[in-house]
Structure 1
Amino acid sequence: MDIQPTTTSETVTADRPWLLSLHGSETNKTITLDLSKFSENVHWVAGTAFQPMRRLKSGLPLGKVTASGLYAPYAGATNEVQTVTITGSPTGGTFTLTWSGQTTAAIAYNATAATVRTALEALSNIAPGDVTVTGSAGGPYTVTFGGAYLGDDVAQMTASGASLTGGSSPAVSVSTTTAGGAAGASDGTQVFAGLLFTETAFNPGSTKCGAALMVHGDVAMAKLPLPFERPASTGRTDSINFS
């Protein structure tokens, strides 16, 4: 049974841990989102059979599509995306990931995405906020570089599955899904417009939905749902303070 608890003590910032203060909450702008531009897990999470509404994560950086006037994910820089895939259906054991000369501690064959991220952040050259990891327990895992590596074409990780057990010839591999680089778009979304102010629900199959764009406030970059750094010279950098 899918029972969702409710509470009367929830604060207005419950879904906005990235917002350092309520300053700016009254200067939000009503916008329309182009839902076709948003991706599952990266930008939104699926609902359940009993509550099918999908939920866009609060704090998503947004840009405005010039041709349509709709808003979509900010594409001021292309972040490197790599995929870690475990094959052979192992039933036990561990694997490791190596990046730029540093190797993680052993990671369980069925580790969650959060565990993989923690293992990567324990490396001396990856700080908290430099990567995000999504995916189901046991993978595939989608590793997105950001933070200090925002927009960088970083080296591809390597992996070792020598300690995986069970299954049929278990192994682990890494592929580069998206190479990092400069501006990833020229449709207008390369200009930062603001942040999605609150978690926003929409029905499966919807192509558009209304939302609130935060254009004024104080933001903790490390707590945003995607790796992000303040744009150097474009977009709404005069009224949002990033720290």
Structure 2
Amino acid sequence: MNDFQPMTVLQETATADRPWLASLVGTHDANTITLDLTKFVAGVHYEPGTPYQPRNVLKSGLPLGLNDTSGLYEPYAGPTSEVQTVTVTGTPTGGTYTLTFSGQTTAGIAYNATAAQVKTALEALSNINPGDVVVSGGPHPGTPVVIAFAGQYLGEDVGQMTASATNLTGGTTPAVTVATTTAGGGASASNGTEKLAGFLATESLFAPGSTKTSGALLWHGEVFAAKCPIPFDPDDVAATRPGVTIHYR
């Protein structure tokens, strides 16, 4: 099922409700494109419809890439962000452990810490700001904690953390290990979407169940990268499509 809406951008002189758009003269260079809706995720790339407004709404400002095989636009698949997993073994019954990242060591983290507690300990370091890590999984010791680097480390190949289990107690030889489950920095696709093609210039509505829809692509202009609807770091853009000229603030 396809859902194509007529879209022609002739002239626009305001940024409207698009805080990501830095150009005060608006989207003066936008092309009509076709989007592959099967690649977009509800709650991340679009807001699901409601009984009062049943169409889904793709967020304006989404970074996009062009799939060279299908010829359709998809979410930009820039460099992969680092993911590391912290595992507590030996069934400890008390005590704490520490994590060290780039020379900075956390305060003691409880043997049975939740993901939120690990996140708090990491964000207390001088080299990790709020939003630099997304922590899931847990709680210890039964379930590993998964740490995805974001913020200033989005798309970066960061050094692997080290751990100290010296203060864990009980159990049988308790220990903590850190493993890099996804190395950061490498392109997360090889189908063309790893090259930035531009940004979705305006919100685009589509009916639930649709697989394709039209949109407007901003391929020449200025963007506030930090205000895009999903995390985007212009420093990590290794390549753009030919002719794309985007400036960042």
The TM-score with structure 1 as length reference comes to 0.61
Q: 1:190 to 1:45 in 2, by over 3 A?
A: same
Contact 1:23 1:216 in 2 (8 A): no
Counterpart residue type for residue 240 of structure 1:
I
Of structures 1 and 2, the larger Rg is shown by 2
* SS of corresponding position for 1:185: coil
The TM-score with structure 2 as length reference comes to 0.60
Q: From 143, 150, 154, give the equivalent of 1:145.
A: 150
Aligned ranges 1:128-167 → 2 under 5 Å: 131=132, 145-152=150-157, 155=160
Aligned ranges 1:121-200 → 2 under 5 Å: 123-127=125-129, 131=132, 145-152=150-157, 155=160, 179-200=183-204
String of CA shifts for 1:116-158, please: whole Å, max 9, x gaps. Answer: 8x997665323467x48699xxxxx995625444243564799
Q: 1:37 to 1:233 in 2, by over 3 A?
A: closer
Q: From 202, 207, 212, give the equivalent of 2:206.
A: 202
Q: 1:238 to 1:45 in 2, by over 3 A?
A: closer
Structure 2: gaps spanning 5 or more residues: 1-13, 86-97, 108-113, 137-145, 164-177
Q: From 228, 236, 239, give the equivalent of 2:233.
A: 228
Q: 1:77 to 1:12 in 2, by over 3 A?
A: same
Q: For 1:24 and 1:196, how far apart are their aligned partners in 2?
A: 13
CA RMSD of aligned residues (A): 4.6
Shift, 1:82, TM fit: 7.5
Q: For 1:156 and 1:39, how far apart are their aligned partners in 2?
A: 31
Aligned to 1:215: 219
Of all paired residues, the percent bearing the same amino acid is: 48
* SS of corresponding position for 1:217: strand
Q: 1:99 to 1:23 in 2, by over 3 A?
A: farther
Shift, 1:37, TM fit: 1.1
Alignment: residue pair count: 206
Q: For 1:132 and 1:53, how far apart are their aligned partners in 2?
A: 33
Aligned to 1:80: 82
Structure 1: gaps spanning 5 or more residues: 1-10, 84-96, 136-140, 159-173
String of CA shifts for 1:2-51, please: whole Å, max 9, x gaps. Answer: xxxxxxxxx6421x111112346121111011011112233223233433
Of the structure 1 ranges 59-68 and 143-152, higher mean CA displacement relative to structure 2 is found in 143-152
Contact 1:61 1:192 in 2 (8 A): yes
Contact 1:75 1:189 in 2 (8 A): yes
Counterpart residue type for residue 16 of structure 2:
T
Matched, 1:241 2:247: yes
Aligned to 1:90: none
Q: 1:24 to 1:144 in 2, by over 3 A?
A: farther
Q: 1:24 to 1:51 in 2, by over 3 A?
A: closer
Aligned to 2:39: 37
Shift, 1:66, TM fit: 0.6
Counterpart residue type for residue 31 of structure 1:
I
* SS of corresponding position for 1:210: strand
Matched, 1:69 2:75: no
Q: For 2:194 and 2:204, how far apart are their aligned partners in 1?
A: 22
Counterpart residue type for residue 157 of structure 2:
D
Shift, 1:194, TM fit: 0.4
String of CA shifts for 1:146-202, please: whole Å, max 9, x gaps. Answer: 5444243564799xxxxxxxxxxxxxxx99885534011111111110011122222
